[in-house]
Amino acid sequence: MSNQNNVKIILHIDMNAFFCSVACLRNPALRGKVFAIGRENSYRGVISSASYEARAYGIHSAMSLKEAYSLVPDLIVVSLDYSYYTYYHHRFLEIIRQYSTLVEVASIDEAYVDITEISKVRHPLVVAKEIQKRILKEVGLSCSIGIAPTLFLAKMASDMKKPLGITVVRKRDVEDKLYPLSVADIYGIGKKTYPILIDHGIKTIADFMNPQHKEKIIELIGDTSYSYVYHHVLGNSSNVVDPNRRSESESISTSQTFDRIINSQIEVLYELRKMTREMVQKLKKDHYYTKTISITLRNTDFKTITRSKSIDYTDDFDIIYDIVVDLVEEHYHDESLRLLGVGLSNLKHQHALPKEYNLFTIPYASEKQLAIDHIIEEYQKKYGENALFQKKKKNL
């Protein structure tokens, strides 16, 4: 694959079963076992990721735990440890950034890399194989890599061989490599959309790209969606890897579906306080500040509302929780609730903020509260993160 006519050379690096692979690094006894990432000792919630052994039984991400246990009654479920996954996320990014300054983080387990410059002196396949081998050897994680002239085609290519695959898709390869695939494999096609296409005879990408089917497809999914997919498949889409594209949209959140009904403001605030404490601990651990705080409420009729409020950047628990309280008081009116959630978004790493922007310049942060936070953090380091904050309503 040569770099001719100013064609960009873009890698999409996708970590294979990232959450499960990291869990195996933490607990090698999980290797080869049928396990998934989710809420331990519970039938509530959904699976975040499944090991390849679990996938062989039909278990997959976003499947309810109840359904997964019905398929494999003795399924091993391991809790998600955010800080641990973040650590390995940064480990593999450190290696990738040694090959290009143009690295765009797509999620915790994938990234786009523009290697056009280094490909002028080294073959892109050699570069991709080296990156793959180094991540496996130095970090202990496997990845699949797609090589293409656009972000879309690179993403499609990385999905074609897993685990530990490397696939090249040039514009001239599209008909041979992409057309035979199912429309379900088109990146960006929703889970509700591709069954509609298949039901109407549009089963493969070749069917989708056939001009004879254009009017039918537009009638089914609309002209905008048709045009988007059509041009992306042909390679007529973005080839710009932007390291800052997602920097302002990072977020963290947590939510819980309850076995009991929550129907009082004091219960709502009690549960949201614990969730807020958990989110703030994640912020501090990874040295982030948040600008936007949100709450999610879902009632017994499954009607869900999300409300948010933006403030100056902070990682202070009391400031953040005060906003949560304000949002609850404004938007909760004693409904019977099944689910509660807290989210922090518009995150910025401390290095991305002005040097003078620190805890002492954040509005409302007092020396007294900083001292209290310090004592709490030191105590929890010694006695565990659950120390001090037990599930007792008298602590409200």
Positions annotated as catalytic residues are 110
Nearest CA-CA partner of 286 in 351, 364, 360, 367: 351
Rounded Cα distance, 206 and 113, in Å: 28
Rounded Cα distance, 352 and 313, in Å: 11
- At 325, list the tokens: 């309280």
Burial category of 201 from C-beta neighbours within 10 Å (exposed 0-12, middle 13-18, buried 19 and up):
exposed
Give residue for tokens 């306080």.
273
Rounded Cα distance, 7 and 171, in Å: 10
What strand order describes the sheet that includes 166-168?
103-107, 110-114, 10-15, 143-148, 166-168
Within 10 A of 42 (CB to CB), how many other CB atoms are there?
13
Helical packing angle, 124-134 and 82-96, nearest 10°: 150
